[in-house]
Structure 1
Amino acid sequence: MTYAAVVLDNDGVLTELPKRETMWRAAERTFQSFDLSAPSGEQVRALVAGNVEAIRTLCAEHRIDAGTFCYEAAAHAVREQKREMRDGLRTLYDDASTLWDLNARLGLVSDNQHETIRFILRFFGIEERFDAVYGNPYTPEGLRRMKPDPHYLDAALDDLGTRDALYVGDSAVDIEAAANAGVDSALVVRDDEVPECEPTHRIESLGELSALV
């Protein structure tokens, strides 16, 4: 089985996952920007996860425009993640270097903010390897299109000009998004925690993709 294109998730696949402390700090600073003191753990988790209904409820309770709130949240998340990478606290996985050997066009589709994804590709000098790149805008509308919604995966496949593609992720929601887009999937298992899902392929390293394309 071979594929004309490979589309990757970012966090946990191409780069290490952002530190919990990084995303928690970004969320807390968002609350501080609107003078919302002492947010509950549940509220912080909802913001980090992009739970649009919980965010809308919070904004309605405090008479804050949801779009403005999301814009501020995105700005803090992007800023904190850039700092994390500049400080060497988060980097590419070593096996990312094997992507240059693949005989396939590459795309990147992530639920992380588009600005963060673009920064990652430029920061690590790999932007030219990807022919289609989509991060998820942190807006009420964008949050509704988070995976497993295939909206941005479909857009990337259109840019790549093929549906003969493999989507590579590290979570059950990635595998579901691939199914919703009508393409095969590969689950990267980097630790002992294996998500419950039914991918087309299971791999432990991006280096194993060469056998598939």
Structure 2
Amino acid sequence: MTALGDGAVVLFDMDGVVLEGRETDPAVRSRALDDALDDRGLTASASLRRPLERAAYDDEFRAACEELGVDPPRFFRAREERTAKRAVERLSAGMRRLHRDADALDALADRAPIGLVSNNYHPTVEFVVDHFRLDAFAFVRGRDLGPDGFRRRKPDPHYLNEALDALDATGGIYVGDRATDVIAAERAGLDSAFLRRDHNAGRALDVEPTVEIGSLRELVDLVDSGAIGPESERS
């Protein structure tokens, strides 16, 4: 039995928690939009480009697609496929690195099953795990490409629940660096650890995490001490 208890897991967000950088650079989406347009022999005015290159699948994106004469769900997925491909190329070129305290993952994996659950694209998350040889993760999940994947982003607990089911877990803790991570954890019946790093050190939270930490290494001590543990029931 671990300090977390039988059936408990430790799940992690990726961007800003394990991997340096809060998210994929918006410039990557802009170039990916160029790719998707070039594939179709299209060009877009500056006013159309603005909604087309943002992350959101929303009314503005759909209206821009209709004006451009393309199917919104298909074009959104195509742009995301190109974004994921370009993000992987940047990672392969060494543009982003693991946080130094990512070495705590192995120690945590000795105490409980650990998983990676991110709002980033699944192909990108898989590449990060393979590229950096993060073999400690027993479960790895990024969001699906396309509108459905966008709608299932945190704070929706969809992918956290998927992780719990895959790991046959009854509870545990989710480690993130945003309020949406805390909310998603609560909705999945998990404790939450809010990780403070340089990019969010002064951010005020309007939700209350189970615990705040300044390093992944602190999490090892908290698990060993029994200061954090699973919720008795999943929601």
Shared fold (TM-score greater than 0.5)? yes
Cα shift at 1:23: 3.7
Structure 1 counterpart of 2:124: 116
Q: 2:178 matched to 1:171? A: yes
User: 1:72 matched to which residue of 2?
Assistant: 78
Judged with a 3 Å threshold, the aligned counterparts in structure 2 of structure 1 residues 31 and 174 are, in CA distance, closer, same or farther, namely farther
User: Against the structure 1 CA distance between its residues 71 and 171, is the aligned structure 2 distance closer, same or farther, given a 3 Å change threshold?
Assistant: same
3-state SS of the aligned residue for 1:49?
A: coil
CA drift at 1:167: 0.7
C-alpha change, 1:94 and 1:123, in structure 2 (3 Å) is same
Residue identity matched to 1:104:
A
Q: Residues 75 and 159 of structure 1: is their aligned pair in 2 closer, same or farther, counting only changes over 3 Å?
A: same
In 2, are the aligned partners of 1:22 and 1:84 still within 8 Å (CA)? no
**Counterparts in 2 of 1:53 and 1:105: CA distance versus 1, 3 Å:** farther
**SS where residue 120 of structure 2 aligns?**
coil
Structure 2 residue 36 is matched with structure 1 residue 26: no
Counterparts of 1:34-183 in structure 2, within 5 Å, are 34=40, 35-40=42-47, 42-44=50-52, 47-102=53-108, 103-126=111-134, 128-183=135-190
* TM-score normalized by the length of structure 1: 0.88
Per-residue CA deviation, residues 112-133 of structure 1 (Å, 9 max, x unaligned), is 111111011001111x311222
Task: Name the SS for the 1:167 alignment partner.
Answer: strand
Aligned to 1:187: 194
- Structure 1, unmatched stretches of 5+, are none
Partners of 2:190 and 2:60 lie apart in 1 by 31
Structure 1 runs of 4+ off > 6 angstroms?
Answer: none
For 2:215, the equivalent position in structure 1 comes to: 205
Q: Give the TM-score normalised by the residue count of structure 2.
A: 0.81
Q: Which has the larger radius of gyration?
A: 2
Q: Residue 118 of structure 1 aligns to a residue in which SS?
A: helix
- Contact kept, 8 Å, 2:10 with 2:172, in 1: the verdict is yes
Hey, what's the Cα distance between the residues in 2 that align with 1:193 and 1:23? 28
Give the conservation status (yes or no) of the 8 Å contact 2:121–2:145. yes
Q: Which runs of no fewer than 5 residues in structure 2 stay unpaired? A: 224-235
**1:55-109 residue CA offsets vs partner (Å, 9 max, x unmatched):** 3232233331123212211222112111211221101111111110011111111
Supply the AA of the counterpart residue of 1:50: A
Cα distance in 1, alignment partners of residues 118 and 204 from structure 2: 18
